[in-house]
Amino acid sequence: MPELKDQFTLLADNTDIEKPLLDDRQYRYLKLKNELRVLVISDPHADKSAASLDVNVGSFADKEYNISGLAHFCEHLLFMGTSKYPQENEYSDYLAKHSGHSNAYTAAEHTNYYFQVGSNHLEGALDRFAQFFISPLFSKSCKDREINAVDSENKKNLQSDLWRLYQLDKSLSNTKHPYNGFSTGNYMTLHTIPESQGVNVRDILMKFHNDRYSANLMSLVILGKENLDELSTWAIEKFSDVADKCLSRPNYDGELIYKTDHMLKLIKAKPVKDLHQLDITFMIPDDLEEKWDCKPQSYFSHLLGHESEGSILYHLKSKGWVTELSSGNMKVCQGSSSYVVEFQLTPEGLNHWQDIVKTTFDYLHFINEQGPQKWIWEEIKNISEVNFKFKQKADAANTASKLSSVLYKFDEFIPADNLLSSSVVRKYDPEAITKFGSYLNIDNFRVTLVSPDFEGLSQKEKWYGTEYEVQEIPQGLLDQIKNPASNQHLHFPAPNPFIPTNFDILGKKSQSPQVSPYLISHDNKMNLWYKQDDQFEVPKGTIEIVFHLPASNVDVESATKSVVFAEMLDDHLNQITYFASLVGLRVGINCWRDGFAIYVSGYNHKLPVLLNKVLDEFFNFTPSADRFEPLKFKLCKEFKNVGYQVPYNQIGSYHLQIVNEKVYDYDDKIEILENLQFTEVEQFIKNSITFAGVFAEVLVHGNFDISNATEIKNSVSKHLDSIEPIMDEYDENKFHLQNYVFQPGEVTRFEVDLKDKNNINSCIEYYLQISPTNDDIKLRVLTDLLSTIIREPCFNQLRTKEQLGYVVFSGLRKGRTSIGFRVLVQSERSSEYLEYRIDEFIRKFGKYVNHELTDENFYKFKQALIDAKLQKLKHLSEETNRLWSAITDGYYEFDARQKHASLLETVTKQEFINFFNEYVAGVENNKNGKTGKFVLHLKSQVKNEVPNSKLVQSALSNFAYRHGYDINHEFIDSLVKKLESSSNEFIIEEYIKEVERESKATLDKEHVLQEIKSAIDNPIPEGYPSGKLIGSIEEFRENHTLGGYPHPVSPLTKFYYDQSHL
């Protein structure tokens, strides 16, 4: 592109940039004339393109404008239209029609915007995206709605201990530093307070954007299938108009996040969940970014976070005080970091928190006294090199977003050549390690102790209401720390035996990769599936196993004992598996529907050895009585805390408990667990778990040849020799479970009160069972297409326009054998009101489908879904997941995506309309004879009084939506503001005049007046909630039948491996 060479400076070209061995993308790093940094990435094989723009300004800038949440509010409102594309959902609509999506986040010093789109539509998406940074409208009509969206997002997090404890730490920090602020914002900070001060928050927002959004503080990444020249040209053409205001990066005038008087404090806090936690926090007066090549913090993270013999965790677990430990450094902002050692405690550990702190300092003393160990550094270095060398591609959006967020570092203090490889530890710098260790000292720490047992705490944090109290750390503890004792249980870990050395690739890349695995063992005791990697050429693999052991899940009691067995076994194996995890070898042991799932994955060199160790322990495990009580406590806590998750994360588990056989209520499991004795578990493991026989389903996938797969088959078989099979002859029905199904035309509801009595949000899952079986491929494809077409309108109406809540999504829901469609909304409004609004949306969407869906848009939606189905695999584990899902669901439909895409090509708009009218239309009136409707209400126990202004606003907006009038939301908002001095009736009359003016129609004023007044007085119409109320899960199952077993779409003989190859 010689004609544009004066429009940019080349910082690094493709040949300069160090890349992983497997990375076939090309890169070019530029700086435009307006100082905007740009990385373009050419991936000719990409079926998804992406872009991300990171602005080096975030919530820490709020402090200057005295409005908490301003940067976050800017992130929200920026998406709502531009001068070139004024329609507020133009961007999201374009992406939805081209198999795309977008998102953004606000961090302390950065705001990151990104999107992904079908690879043929990158330029159009880029053009729309660029305008957000050139000429955003910050629409007045969207302002109040996006303030409500921010407020709803904040309310979503109010009962989250993660957010509450993070804000508590910030609130107890240096008040001169912006870390002390409240970053999310809410209605009070963005509306109430500014309005009371005569401040127009939109004016401040526009000033903030004008002051802080500058090209020289922006980093752009574009990834597409086009060549580097074309991508560079687009970047120059579309982003050169972003204004450069020559701004400086954030600076805090030497202020650090904590002052001296914030240290040596004991902060006690009461959580929402059953959480016993101890945090030891050290203040690091360095962001460490210029130490990128030696990473001294990683040396301490490696040692303090280690879990093998000699570590802090190993020693404290042996005492029954701690169940988990995590350790690491977090850059907070320019010039400041914090290093945190976090412990999950048992009740006994809570009593011994001072001993835990002392043990931590004993180990720190040992590390610092011994000095930097080069062999430990070399191990960290070797692991980082191996992980970089064989790093696989991430998806387009993730790649773009992550790289844009760090691009500012390169060609500043990190050479641009290391743009992709800065994670590698390169330089042994014992002085830097020693200096970092000096920060972890007895004068530079504070302790946060968290427990629901704390009563009478004297203070409440302002934004989240967390009860807390600040005390001095006991002098006796400080005296002990100052005189560290030698502890024979604390020492350096042994060398890691799992670092791989053989990276030979056993297979060849194929131009036509095999879709299905081979079946190399098929009898009444085991199916073993095998597929050698023929796409990615990586020295990695995965071995997945499900042991179907029906005796492990006869009832809730046996299911609970199985969970304890899996937890105790995992704990016992940790001495081995932790070493493996450090080099990317992962081991999982989990309860499965009627048995246990085990997997090992990572570099294949030592995977078979690791698998044998796991299988030996699984089938010969003798549990330890000493570990029973701590692990029982851990499981009890986890089960109880399920009920304190945010509602939208809980509601899916209720659905699964209700509709699936052999899934049990957490309360029932807690009751059994609390009374469970070690001897019962011991006897269960010894005598009962294999009583009803076994069947194993195994997948060997990756860098394995047939001899490796055969060895693995023999190893599994050997471990199964002494156990009877669950069936005399092979029969899929013996090891697959079913789900309960709804009758056509049935309308049912289930109601559950939230356990968290202080959570103000309710949640609804509105589910339509399209078919009780998965056998009709056409129905599956049409349901998928419905999900694609409805997604953006559903979000736009229920979240953006009606402001029901921050969490709104819709889509396909597959059961074990059934298929359905769901809409999920979390909101402060009642779940009954949410059901009414979903019904209204579906009714209106039916009009769109039947009368407004154009042939062109239908084709775009259909093509977007086809593109999604045919999206290329990005890495080996993605293919593993796809193969394993097809095996464990019982259909063995390995080519489902290709078949669905081919079928979609033939689907006509009329077929889709007929499908909608037959299976979806009428559900809002409970008059659909083909579809089962199930509405799950998760209800807040807080009695939220909806303000009159909100009731009026909803009634006016809903009237316009119901009757098809296009009334500006800004006008409705302005009317609602007059309620302070006007009656509801006056507001309605003014509204009617506006409707008549806009629609050029004459309304029956009295009828409209009564309709709107009725909606204000009774916002939930008669008939809600709908359906027959189910009193319990048992009652549901007694009145519903199971839907049948899955059946292979093809005979399994089709997949047999040619025996001549064995």
The amino acid at residue 191 is: H
Identify the helix (H) or strand (E) that includes residue 15: none
Distances (CA, A) of 897 to 694, 867, 1053: 32, 10, 22
**Parallel, antiparallel, or unpaired: how do β-strands 459-460 and 540-548 relate?**
unpaired
Q: From CA 832, how far away is CA 935, in angstroms rounded?
A: 10
Q: From CA 583, how far away is CA 287, in angstroms rounded?
A: 26
Q: From CA 503, how far away is CA 606, in angstroms rounded?
A: 11
Mean pLDDT over the full length of the chain: 95
Active site residue 629: no
The 10s digit of each residue's pLDDT in 99-158 is 999 999 999 999 999 999 999 999 999 999 999 999 999 988 788 889 999 999 999 999
Q: What are phi and psi of 151, to 5 degrees?
A: -60, -40
Q: What are phi and psi of 423, to 5 degrees?
A: -75, -15
Q: From CA 1038, how far away is CA 425, in angstroms rounded?
A: 61
CB proximity list for 712: less than 8 A, separation 6 or greater: 528, 543, 608, 611, 698, 700, 704
Distances (CA, A) of 131 to 53, 219, 899: 12, 15, 39
The amino acid at residue 319 is: K
The 10s digit of each residue's pLDDT in 1033-1051 is 999 999 999 999 999 999 9
One of 75, 697, 792, 840 is an active-site residue; which one?
Answer: 75
Q: From CA 619, how far away is CA 658, in angstroms rounded?
A: 32
Radius of gyration of the chain (CA): 30
For residue 352, what is the DSSP state?
Answer: T
Q: From CA 551, how far away is CA 558, in angstroms rounded?
A: 7
pLDDT of residue 4: 72
Asked whether 1049 and 893 are in contact (CB, 8 A), the reply is yes
pLDDT of residue 2: 64
Cis peptide before 452 (omega within 30 of 0): no
Q: From CA 428, how far away is CA 291, in angstroms rounded?
A: 11
CB proximity list for 1058: less than 8 A, separation 6 or greater: none
Q: Is the dihedral of CA 997, 1000, 1005, 1010 positive or negative?
A: negative
Identify the helix (H) or strand (E) that includes residue 871: none
Q: From CA 721, how far away is CA 224, in angstroms rounded?
A: 53
CB proximity list for 808: less than 8 A, separation 6 or greater: 794, 795, 798, 799, 823, 824, 825, 826
The amino acid at residue 951 is: L
Q: From CA 342, how far away is CA 324, in angstroms rounded?
A: 8
Q: Is 730 left (phi over 0), alpha (psi -120 to 50) or beta?
A: beta
The 10s digit of each residue's pLDDT in 683-732 is 999 989 999 999 999 999 999 999 999 999 999 999 999 999 999 999 99
73 exposure class (CB count in 10 Å sphere: 0-12, 13-18, 19+): buried
pLDDT of residue 600: 98
CB proximity list for 212: less than 8 A, separation 6 or greater: 55, 57, 61, 247
Average pLDDT score over residue span 660-670: 96
Residue keyed to tokens 């530093």: 177
Distances (CA, A) of 905 to 48, 406, 909: 20, 41, 11
In the chain, the percentage of residues whose pLDDT exceeds 70 is 99
Q: Closest by alpha carbon to 1059, among 518, 514, 507, 506?
A: 518
Asked whether 396 and 125 are in contact (CB, 8 A), the reply is no
Instruction: List the strands of the sheet with 540-548, edge to edge.
Output: 518-522, 526-532, 695-702, 540-548, 595-603, 586-592
Average pLDDT score over residue span 968-982: 81
Please report which confidence band the pLDDT of residue 925 belongs to, taking 50, 70 and 90 as the band edges. confident
The 10s digit of each residue's pLDDT in 533-580 is 999 999 999 999 999 999 999 999 999 999 999 999 999 999 999 999
| Token pair belonging to 632 | 């029982």
The amino acid at residue 998 is: E
Q: From CA 652, how far away is CA 673, in angstroms rounded?
A: 23
Strands, DSSP E only, in 604-740? Answer: 695-702
Please report which confidence band the pLDDT of residue 1059 belongs to, taking 50, 70 and 90 as the band edges. low
Helix and strand numbers (H, E) in the chain are 36, 26
pLDDT of residue 923: 83
Asked whether 862 and 856 are in contact (CB, 8 A), the reply is no
Q: From CA 824, how far away is CA 818, in angstroms rounded?
A: 18
CB proximity list for 983: less than 8 A, separation 6 or greater: none
Distances (CA, A) of 241 to 8, 125, 302, 774: 13, 17, 46, 52
The 10s digit of each residue's pLDDT in 976-1024 is 888 777 889 989 988 998 888 888 888 888 999 999 999 999 999 999 9
The amino acid at residue 1046 is: P
**Parallel, antiparallel, or unpaired: how do β-strands 1028-1030 and 747-753 relate?**
parallel
**What's the whole-model pTM score?**
0.92
Q: What are phi and psi of 913, to 5 degrees?
A: -60, -45
pLDDT value at 1061 more than 70: no
pLDDT value at 1062 more than 50: no
CB burial of 522-551 (b: ≥16 within 10 Å; e: otherwise) equals beebbbbbbbbbeebbbbbbbbbbbbbbbb
**Parallel, antiparallel, or unpaired: how do β-strands 265-269 and 467-472 relate?**
antiparallel
Q: Is the dihedral of CA 992, 998, 1002, 1007 positive or negative?
A: negative
Q: From CA 1032, how far away is CA 657, in angstroms rounded?
A: 11
More confident residue, 411 or 937: 937
Please report which confidence band the pLDDT of residue 969 belongs to, taking 50, 70 and 90 as the band edges. confident
Please report which confidence band the pLDDT of residue 89 belongs to, taking 50, 70 and 90 as the band edges. confident
pLDDT of residue 281: 98
Q: From CA 643, how far away is CA 755, in angstroms rounded?
A: 6
CB proximity list for 488: less than 8 A, separation 6 or greater: none
Asked whether 696 and 545 are in contact (CB, 8 A), the reply is yes
Please give the full DSSP string across 473-493, using - where no structure is assigned: PPHHHHHHHHSPPP-TT--PP
Instruction: List the strands of the sheet with 819-827, edge to edge.
Output: 807-814, 819-827, 762-771, 932-939, 747-753, 1028-1030
Q: How many whole angstroms from its chain centre is CA 133? A: 27
In the chain, the percentage of residues whose pLDDT exceeds 90 is 89
| Token pair belonging to 396 | 């387009």
Q: From CA 52, how far away is CA 93, in angstroms rounded?
A: 18
